Structure 1
Amino acid sequence: MHNLILNTDSYKTSHFLQYPQGTEYVSSYIESRGGSYPKTLFFGLQIFIKQYLTKPITLTDINEAEEVLAMHGLPFNYEGWMHILKQHNGYLPLEIEAVPEGTLVPTGNVLVQVVNTDPQCAWLTSYIETALLRAIWYPTTVATVSKACHTILDAYLSETADNLNSLPFKLHDFGARGASSEESVAIGSLAHLVNFMGTDSLSGVMAARRYYHKEMAGFSIPAAEHSTITSWGREGEAAAYANMLRRFGGKGKTVAVVSDSYDIWNAIDNIWGGELKSQVENNGGTLVIRPDSGEPVEIVPEAIERLMAKFGYTINSKGYKVLPDFIRLIQGDGVSVTSIEEILCEMKKRKLSAENVSFGMGGELLQKVNRDTQRFAMKASAICIDGEWKDVYKDPITDRVKRSKKGRLALINQRGEFKTVSRNSVDPSENLLIPIYRDGQLIMDYSLDNIRLLAMNDSVSVG
């Protein structure tokens, strides 16, 4: 699974025979052509480079690829790969430029540009497309979805809460079990952690340590699941809740307890707000109650109002009701970008501060995205034949949205507006595409802290 030569589409293996004679260089770019969000939060290239491109291919890789592709029915560029092994010690002779990770870029602009650095390897630029595009579209799309949620939560907290102190923990990653692989969890969860600091995906935390110089990128709390509550039996529901407070409560501590295994309203009105009321009020920390079924737009406001009926509330400076510090709610079922806004909108109508609730998102965050969510594509835009650069592009009459860009490109920012322009039309110092990788070496090594700071400077609107 780690043979980089075979980390491509099958048909790519025949392309070394398809370019015009005399082809020396091919330059390609990656962009988000549009999609669900008007801007994309660029993230994740460094993971791919560190994991795959800083490790050389070997003779074993070449021999395996030759054997597999012969059986698969395709030609294999044995001489080309042996040239890379002998002349470049197995490292791919490519240069990859990209915008700094954490940059929010309007769709329709270049994000990455790739060109071969050895004229004998012009075929390599397109060969890497499959792996490189996948390595970019997925984390960038997850980061963009997460940023859209951050923008919504920021707006509602600004309107209904006294401060934004709770914002970094308002959206928790619940997606580990619903993702397609452990690698997807690591990449997607880390992309979410660009915007927030709450996660239950340990793979993302480990990815931050390995790829972005962050010893601890996200945090969690002790929390119950249905099995740990229902194992006490229906008659032992109150005892199960009391056990959670006893085991995990205390000054400065937070514990979450799923409370809808049987009847969420009975749990709030008669157990938490009745039998265990004094323990909740005096445990010294914060109890977070989690509904896990029903219609979220209806359940969340009603649950908060029932908690307020039992535990009281204050009115903040914005005129909205806030539960006491010792109790909060987290909604982790049916959560999406859309439902977060719908829930917060309904809460605002009822004069309930967004401070009262946090969210957990699973499949909608890590899994219900694809390359077309932001219409990602990688296309060749320039070719050098016998020393002369020429523009190349596609322009299908059946879908003008798929018209590709021409030439060697640059990304500039003029008075706050990003523009993709010809590389030769601007001073190199204006170009926001920075060399990230060249011939096996990582040139820029970003930290998650710096990426977070850059990502904070803008917002992603929905629709």
Structure 2
Amino acid sequence: MNALLPANPILNTDSYKTSHWLQYPPGTDAMLSYVESRGGRFDRLLWFGLQAILKEYLAQPISRAHIEEAEEVLRLHGVPFNRSGFDYLIERHGGHWPVEIRALPEGTVAPTGVPLLTIASTDPAAFWAVSYLETLLMRVWYPTTVATQSWHARRLIQRYLDKTADSAESLPFKLHDFGARGVSSYESAALGGMAHLVNFLGTDTLAALVAARRYYDAGPACAYSIPAAEHSTITSWGPQGEVDAYRNMLERFAKPGAVVAVVSDSYDIFHAVEKLWGGELRQQVIDSGATLVVRPDSGDPATIVSQVVQRLDAAFGSTVNSKGFKLLNHVRVIQGDGVNLNSMELILGGLSARGYSTDNVAFGMGGALLQQLDRDTQRFAMKCCAVRVNGSWREVFKAPVTDPGKRSKAGLLTTYRLADGSLQWGLQGQVPAGAEEALLPVWRHGELLLEQNFAQIRQRAAA
């Protein structure tokens, strides 16, 4: 995933994990753990991103060089190192982790509180590998949380399209990813941007396209963008040249059938809409045959978007659709500042209250989409639920008296799908009649068992 440094698989964990192989009861030879969202901002989540993490990190076999580096680093770091255990992984398993991972198909919309994946040891001599991999596997919280927020945004927009538009045909392009510059790394942009593309087709995060092609066989064109201005390309013309900057955008990009977006609040958004776009350049916009997308980029989003739409209506006119809502002629609006689910609801509600269709507006979301979330947004956790000691399976769980919400699940867990399509969790071998196992084998001993492509994942999420 274009990591800054080639990852040593042994060091892709937390320091305290390196001593855990010494801490389990004598006679332990098997372990099962699970990953779940224990709740959070949303009651349903969109599961995504595991395959990318497996391909990038778990597929890399441990080498002798990795062991030598890890031994030196960890000795100086002050923690134990399981040298014999890692030597064994090379000698017995070719450097691959002896684990099996079962997981929900990616793109599944699941309620919080059900296991999304389980990881089980497959070699009694290396049962400790399950816990050692927690740090790496837990990072699936990030693409899943981004995909979840994006999915809920899609549902919100669709609700307003259903109310105010003739169709939902425009839905895939209603939320554009502006987040690449607002995240902590290229890897975050790739994982988070790709997660957003499960739900939408618009992005300016090129890393997401690369990642979707590499990890999910998404093909060369899984998302799209358009020519768009930024403040520097407008303000470089100076205040007196603002209209010339806009005219240049039209001359360069406004062709019949094209869409071009122009940020228009560098000085005075209302002057730009009324006197420039709706005045001096009005006929050129109409004659171009393109759709001009005006972008306000400051002020209170709910207030400004409604005011801009109304002023554009006064300049360019509108038609009334079959549901009685107005659709602007020749122009649209995109809001890319201060966008989150709350502001989107206010903007869409305000437009519909004024008689305007949701088809008039699109959104760009940056930091709120890819960065303003963390592992606790959906309270992700990976917990051990069972170990085998001296040949007998033992339930493992935590139940802190100070926080019942952190109680973990116990036993040989699985997730199953009932006949009505709902997901529930239970114990292996005790799946109710008419239900089926929902966790599918996806990884074993360094091999991907279930290849999922982007088209399949999108279809599953949309359903």
Give the alignment's TM-score, normalised by structure 1. 0.97
- Give me the whole-angstrom Cα distance separating, in 1, the residues matched to 2:244 and 2:297: 20
Q: Which ranges of structure 2 fall in alignment gaps of 5 or more residues?
A: none
- C-alpha distance in structure 1 between counterparts of 2:197 and 2:446, whole Å: 28
State the distance in 1 between where 2:188 and 2:222 align.
17
**Residue number among 228, 238, 242 corresponding to 2:243 in the alignment:** 238
The 2-side partners of 1:36 and 1:362 are apart by 19
| RMSD, aligned CA | 1.0
SS at match of 1:62: helix
Aligned partner letter, 1:100:
P
290, 302, 311: which one aligns with 2:316: 311
CA contact under 8 A between 2:385 and 2:409: conserved in structure 1?
yes
After superposition, the C-alpha distances for 1:296-334 in whole angstroms (9 at most, x for unaligned) are 01000110000000000011111111101x211000000
CA contact (8 A) 2:161 2:168 kept: yes
Alignment match, 2:307: 302
2:454 equivalent in structure 1: 448
User: Does structure 1 retain, via aligned residues, the 8 Å contact 2:9–2:60?
Assistant: no
Q: Distance in 1 between matches of 2:406 and 2:308?
A: 47
SS in 2 for 1:289: strand
Secondary structure of 1:330's partner? Answer: strand
Report the 3-state secondary structure (helix = DSSP H, G, I; strand = E; otherwise coil) of the residue aligned with 1:340: helix
SS at match of 1:196: coil
Deviations 1:78-113 (A, max 9, x none): 011110011111111110100000001100111010
Matched, 1:372 2:376: yes
- What corresponds to 2:288 in structure 1? 283
Letter of the structure 1 residue corresponding to residue 215 of structure 2: Y
* Secondary structure class of the residue paired with 2:292: strand
In structure 2, the partner of 1:258 is 263
Alpha-carbon shift at residue 152 of structure 1 (Å): 0.2
Q: 3-state SS of the aligned residue for 2:208? A: helix
1:426, CA displacement in angstroms? 2.0
Where does residue 107 of structure 1 map in the other structure? 112
Paired residue secondary structure (2:34): strand
The size of the alignment, in residue pairs, is 455
| Offset from partner CA, 1:34-56 (integer Å, 9 cap, x none) | 00000110000000111011121
Matches of 1:305 and 1:394, distance apart in 2: 57
What is the rounded CA distance, in whole Å, between the counterparts of 1:383 and 1:133 in structure 2? 20
Distance 2:432 2:12 in 1: 36
Q: Distance in 1 between matches of 2:446 and 2:370?
A: 30
The residue aligned with 1:461 is none
SS at match of 1:302: helix
Equivalent residue letter for 1:433: L
1:416: Cα distance to partner? 3.0
Partner residue, 1:189? 193
> Quick one: distance in 2 between partners of 1:188 and 1:146?
10
Question: How far apart, in 1, do the equivalents of 2:395 and 2:454 lie?
Answer: 36
Is 1:126 paired with 2:151?
Answer: no
- 2:87 corresponding residue in structure 1: 82
| Whole-Å separation in 2 of the counterparts to 1:427 and 1:107 | 20
What secondary structure sits across from 2:347 in the alignment?
Answer: helix
Equivalent residue letter for 2:65: T
State the partner residue of 1:68.
Answer: 73
Distance 2:162 2:42 in 1: 22
Q: Which position in structure 2 is the counterpart of 1:460? A: none
What SS does structure 2 have at the residue aligned with 1:198?
coil
Identity across the alignment (%): 54
Q: What corresponds to 1:433 in structure 2? A: 439
Unaligned 5+ segments in structure 1 are 458-463
Match of 2:367 among 363, 370, 374: 363
The farther-off stretch of 47-56 and 154-163 is 47-56
SS at match of 1:221: coil
Q: Show CA shifts across 1:207-240 (max 9, x none).
A: 0110011112210001000000000111100000
- Equivalent residue for 1:175, pick from 167, 175, 179: 179
SS at match of 2:116: strand
Counterpart-to-counterpart distance in 2, 1:119 and 1:407: 18
Q: Does 1:211 align with 2:215?
A: yes
* Alignment match, 1:46: 51
Contact 2:18 2:81 survives alignment (8 Å):
yes
Q: Distance in 2 between matches of 1:59 and 1:442?
A: 23
CA contact (8 A) 2:41 2:377 kept: yes
- C-alpha displacement of 1:410: 1.5
Matching residue's letter, 1:119 = P
1:282 is displaced (CA, Å) by: 1.0
Residue among 366, 387, 394 paired with 1:390: 394
The separation in 2 between residues aligned to 1:375 and 1:313, in whole angstroms, is: 46
State the Cα distance separating 1:417 from its structure 2 match: 2.5
Which stretch of structure 1 is more off in the superposition, 427-436 or 354-363? 427-436
Matching residue's letter, 2:256: K
The offset of 1:390, in angstroms, is 1.3
In 2, Cα distance between equivalents of 1:102 and 1:230: 42
In the TM superposition, what whole-angstrom CA distance separates every residue of 1:270-305 from its partner, at most 9, and x where no partner exists?
000000000111111111110000000100011000
1:342 aligns with 2:370: no
2:97 to 77, 89, 92: 92
TM-score by length of 2: 0.97
Aligned to 1:224: 229
1:427 shift after superposition: 7.5
Equivalent of 2:164 in 146, 160, 164: 160
Distance across 1 between alignment mates of 2:61 and 2:403 = 40
- 1:144-180 residue CA offsets vs partner (Å, 9 max, x unmatched): 0000100000000000000011000000000000001
Of residues 282, 286, 292, the one that matches 2:297 is 292
Structure 1 residue 408: deviation in Å? 1.2
Name the CA distance, whole Å, in 1 between partners of 2:417 and 2:14.
35
Q: Distance in 1 between matches of 2:39 and 2:295?
A: 36
Secondary structure, in 3 states, of the residue corresponding to 2:397? coil
Q: How far apart, CA to CA, are the structure 2 residues paired with 1:35 and 1:218?
A: 29
